[in-house]
Amino acid sequence: MNEDVTFYITRHGETLFNLLEKSQGWCDTPLTQKGINVAELLAKGLRHIKFSAAYSSDSGRAIETAKIILSVNDFQPIKLQQDKRLREWSFGSLEAITNKDLA
């Protein structure tokens, strides 16, 4: 029996470093109010989707975004699974420099 599988892939909401236009790989800055608001809008749009699993990286910004989305879902709550292999790439010594300087 073939069953279709649909993946919903999202990016975390806007963070402080996004706002300051700084590189952010493994650096983890909090979501801004705008980032929270956008995640809440996304959550409303996805609230009627019955997820069978949910995954995020282990970064705070990704976890917070995923938890916002799952918090309003109309179906049985599922456990958010965190995996460091889903992290963004590390910029090493270039973390937190301006995007202009990174370019």
Catalytic residue from among 3, 40, 48, 88: 88
**CA 20/CA 14 separation, integer angstroms:** 10
- Is 88 in the active site? yes
**CA 100/CA 40 separation, integer angstroms:** 30
CB neighbour class for 46 (10 Å; exposed up to 12, middle 13-18, buried from 19): middle
Q: Does residue 18 have a known ligand-binding role? A: yes
Q: Does residue 85 have a known ligand-binding role? A: no
Q: Does residue 2 have a known ligand-binding role? A: no
Q: Does residue 11 have a known ligand-binding role? A: yes
Catalytic residue from among 12, 21, 48, 64: 12
Tokens matching residue 90: 């590390």
Q: Does residue 15 have a known ligand-binding role? A: yes
Q: Does residue 47 have a known ligand-binding role? A: no
- Is 12 in the active site? yes
**CA 41/CA 47 separation, integer angstroms:** 10
Residues annotated as binding site?
11-18, 61
For the annotated catalytic residues, the residue numbers are 12, 88
Residues annotated as binding site for substrate?
11-18, 61
